[in-house]
């Protein structure tokens, strides 16, 4: 469920392009006007605005936004104006090849996406950067974490709701034998099941594991694995069980304690706004007793705050 609120009577993409051009003219940029327009346009409308802007002013809107905006609001708006697959490709490429390599961010995006989303952004990754996603993973990741990511981006997985009960019980048993039952851990079994099986199947395995062995599969993963490998497995598992709850937890962690992790806050709100942000908001309120809007309001400021709150939609 999208949280983006689009006006009931829309101005044309051409009018929006004109208003954006006006916002850039003169001394300084009218950032409030930029936020007001772009935060209330869906992915199709944003694409049309970019086309109109280029046709009318012979310049790229993204480049102009990049030169006019600054700080957190610039990063958020530049991510927002991309289409979802291009955005994921950009985030992962930046995380794997930027000045500071952020394996956690790359892992979060890869392991929380559906197989069709992964296939789409893999194609764009190569088109945009001239390198295959697998090559960057190969170069930056290591060990079991690398094996899992490479399997996860290449193995096709079923995306429907049906599960085979016999296979569910078999996989629950295999994971128990590969982890809690033995000394040491058979990581390859975890990699195989987590990279080959559908979300519905993994969620059913998690339920079966708990009912048969009395411990949660999440706890087993935490006690049997560590580091980026553990984070990848938990991201896959929690996305399968309840992706809204998973992202609510990540958002809460980003705003907890001293200082805010603006990169994570931006990445999740911008990438989920047109997918399931309403659902994440519900889970956030249920788990933490306050609205996500209120949390963002108290942890951010200025145009950046206005932009994120616009994407979040009504405060409930």
| pLDDT tens readout for residues 165-185 | 999 999 999 999 999 888 889
pLDDT band at 78 (very low <50, low <70, confident <90, very high): very high
pTM of the entire predicted model? 0.94
The pLDDT value given to residue 307? 97
Question: Mean pLDDT of all residues in the chain?
Answer: 95
Supply the pLDDT for residue 183: 81
Among 4-8, 41-45, 51-55, the minimum mean pLDDT is found in 4-8
User: Does 210 score more than 70 pLDDT?
Assistant: yes
Q: What is the pLDDT of residue 26?
A: 79
Q: What is the pLDDT of residue 182?
A: 84
First to last CA, the chain: 14
Joined together, the tokens standing for residue 291 give 């609205």
Condensed to tens digits (0 to 9), the pLDDT of residues 239-287 reads 999 999 999 999 999 999 888 999 999 999 999 999 999 999 999 999 9
Residue range 120-135: mean pLDDT, rounded: 97
**Residue 5, pLDDT above cutoff 90:** no
pLDDT of residue 2: 64
- Reported as a pLDDT band with limits 50, 70 and 90, residue 226 is very high
Using pLDDT thresholds of 50, 70 and 90, give the confidence band for residue 3. low
pLDDT at 6: 73
Contact 296, 310 (CB under 8 A): no
Structural domains of the chain ordered from first start: 13-69 (1.10.220.10), 165-241 (1.10.220.10), 245-312 (1.10.220.10)
Confidence of residue 4 (pLDDT cuts 50, 70, 90): confident
């Amino acid at each position: 469920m999208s949280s983006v609120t689009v006006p009931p009577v829309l101005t044309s993409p051409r009018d929006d392009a004109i208003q954006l051009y006006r916002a850039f003219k003169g001394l300084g940029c009218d950032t409030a006007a930029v936020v007001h327009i772009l935060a209330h346009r869906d992915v199709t409308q944003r694409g049309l605005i970019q086309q109109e802007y280029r046709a009318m002013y012979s310049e790229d809107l993204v480049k102009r936004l990049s030169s006019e905006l600054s700080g957190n609001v610039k990063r958020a708006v530049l991510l927002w104006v991309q289409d979802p697959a291009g955005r994921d490709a950009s985030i992962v490429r930046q995380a794997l090849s930027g000045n500071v390599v952020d394996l956690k961010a790359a892992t979060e995006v890869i392991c929380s996406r559906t197989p069709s989303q992964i296939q789409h952004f893999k194609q764009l990754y190569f088109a945009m950067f001239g390198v295959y996603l697998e090559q960057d993973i190969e170069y930056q990741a290591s060990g079991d974490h690398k094996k899992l990511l490479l399997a996860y981006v290449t193995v096709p997985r079923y995306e429907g709701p049906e599960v085979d009960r016999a296979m569910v019980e078999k996989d629950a048993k295999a994971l128990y034998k590969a982890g809690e039952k033995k000394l040491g851990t058979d990581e390859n079994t975890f990699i195989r099941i987590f990279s080959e099986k559908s979300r519905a199947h993994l969620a059913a395995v998690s339920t079966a594991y708990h009912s048969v062995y009395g411990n949660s599969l999440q706890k087993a993963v935490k006690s049997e694995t560590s580091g980026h490998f553990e984070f990848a497995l938990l991201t896959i598992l929690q996305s399968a069980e309840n992706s809204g709850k998973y992202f609510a937890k990540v958002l809460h962690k980003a705003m907890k304690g001293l200082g805010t992790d603006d990169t994570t806050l931006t990445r999740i709100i911008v990438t989920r706004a047109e997918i399931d942000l309403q659902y994440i908001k519900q889970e956030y309120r249920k788990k933490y007793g306050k609205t996500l809007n209120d949390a963002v309001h108290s942890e951010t400021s200025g145009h950046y705050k206005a932009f994120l709150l616009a994407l979040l939609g009504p405060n409930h």
